[in-house]
Each structure stands twice: as structure tokens, then as C-alpha cells.
Amino acid sequence: MSETPIQPNVLDLVLDAVCVVNEDGVFLSASGAVERIFGYTVEEMIGRPMIELVHPDDRERTLQAVDRLMAGQLQYDFENRYVRKDGNAVHLMWAARWYPDQGIRVAVARDITERKQREAMQAAGTFNSSPTVSAALQLPKWKILAAPPQLVSPQGQVVSLSGQDHLVLRAIAASRRVVTRREVVEAMGHNFFDYDQRRLDSQMRRLRRKVEEDCGLTLPVTTLRNVGFRFYEDVVIVD
């Protein structure tokens, strides 16, 4: 098959994950949001059977939904759970369509984990909208420390950073929007037009490996091809 409906440079800006699988359910392509939702990079998703990532308790009904989809029934609000790379479950709502002429399924996944958690608290009678309770329910955040330069995971694992690594992560974390490659390069004190872009790509790959090796977690930064970077989890900068 020579092409799929995915247009990475555009769809990487979409917060929901857009995935394409073949008739056997193997990932062919995906948008950049899969890294935030599933914890895997796009490259790690490609070639994997989707059913391997589905929560074991949800696999049977997921396969039943796939059968209905391939029989011609559109799926707009199917919910199931996937297991993220870090081992945590994520609740998803799917909209999907089967294209028999191309032999592919195109699906859009929305993370509804927070909604499910609120529903569970309401069902248990523990939900309270007061500021005190809301603050207590907030999840721990990643922290970027300046002295000494460190990245601290929500669980408290510490990753030592070089001065350049600290500048890169601080630049990306300074905004909730996508931070351009130019902004990152200039934050390191370099001229964007004279800087070899391959060095920035190598630095980000090395940073991802370091975080995974030091604390077993995925660096929560999405790379938007030819655009820039964005933290997809909450991060606090501590100067």
C-alpha cells in the first residue's frame, strides 16, 4: 500500500490520537498524540498489533467491536482501556471506520481517563468540588530544577541534567503551546540559522534515553515534525 490518510505534519497538532491499522490490526501509522496518550513514540507503535496494548479485561469486547466495524457498522463512541508504556491504564473513546478498498481501519482515540475518574468518585460518593479536596486530588508533576540542573519525575526519581539539557527542557516547559525549534536553539544561546539541526535531534534522543534509563519513564515531550516540541504532562520550573 503506497499511502494512508495520515498527514503527519498536520495531524501532529491534533490532541486526539489518529491511528491507522491494517486488516490484522497492526499499526501502520499514527499521529504525534499517541506519545501523550499511550506513552509510546510513533516509531514504537508502528508494526505492533493493537490488541497487544488493549487492557486484558477489555480485549474480548474490543475484538467484537472490530468485527462489527469490519462488517460495515461505524463506531463513534466505543470505550475501552489500553495499557500505557509505564504500565498505567488509560481510558479511551474511539471513533473508527473501515476502508475495505484500502484494507485499513482509521480510528481516532480520545483520552477520557479524567472523566472516568470523576465518575468513579461520584459513584463512590467521594467527589467534592471544594478547593481543598480538588488540590488534594491533583497528580504530582514533573519538576525542572536549576541548582543543580535536574529533572524530577512525579514519583520523585531524579535525572541529572547538563547545562544544555536544562536549557532545552526549560525552554520547552516555559509554554503550554508548541515551542518552535528556533526558540529552543536560541534559548541555548545559538544562532538558529547557523545551528546544525541534527544536533538538536540527537540531543532530544539522548535525553529520552537518559530519562528512561534513570527512572524507567518516558520523557513527556512530543516532537512535532519540522515544527518543535511540547510537554504533554504538567511540569513545574523551579529556579
pLDDT of residue 137: 40
Of the candidates 72, 79, 77, 78, which has an alpha carbon nearest to the alpha carbon of residue 98?
A: 72
Domain parsing of the chain, residue ranges: 8-115, 139-238
Question: How far apart, in Å, are the Cα atoms of 102 and each of 1, 89, 98, 107?
Answer: 8, 31, 9, 14
Looking at the domain that runs over 139-238, which CATH code has it been given?
A: 1.10.10.10
Q: Is the pTM of this model over 0.75?
A: no
Q: Could you tell me which CATH class the domain 8-115 is placed in?
A: alpha beta
pLDDT of residue 1: 45
CA angle 106, 87, 149 (to 5 degrees): 105
pLDDT of residue 222: 82
Is 139-238 in the same CATH topology as 8-115? no
Rounded Cα–Cα distance for residues 34 and 46 (Å): 11
Q: Chunked in runs of 10, what are the mean pLDDT values of the chain (239 residues)?
A: 50 78 95 91 94 95 94 85 92 92 94 82 60 46 91 91 95 87 94 92 93 90 81 85
pLDDT of residue 136: 36
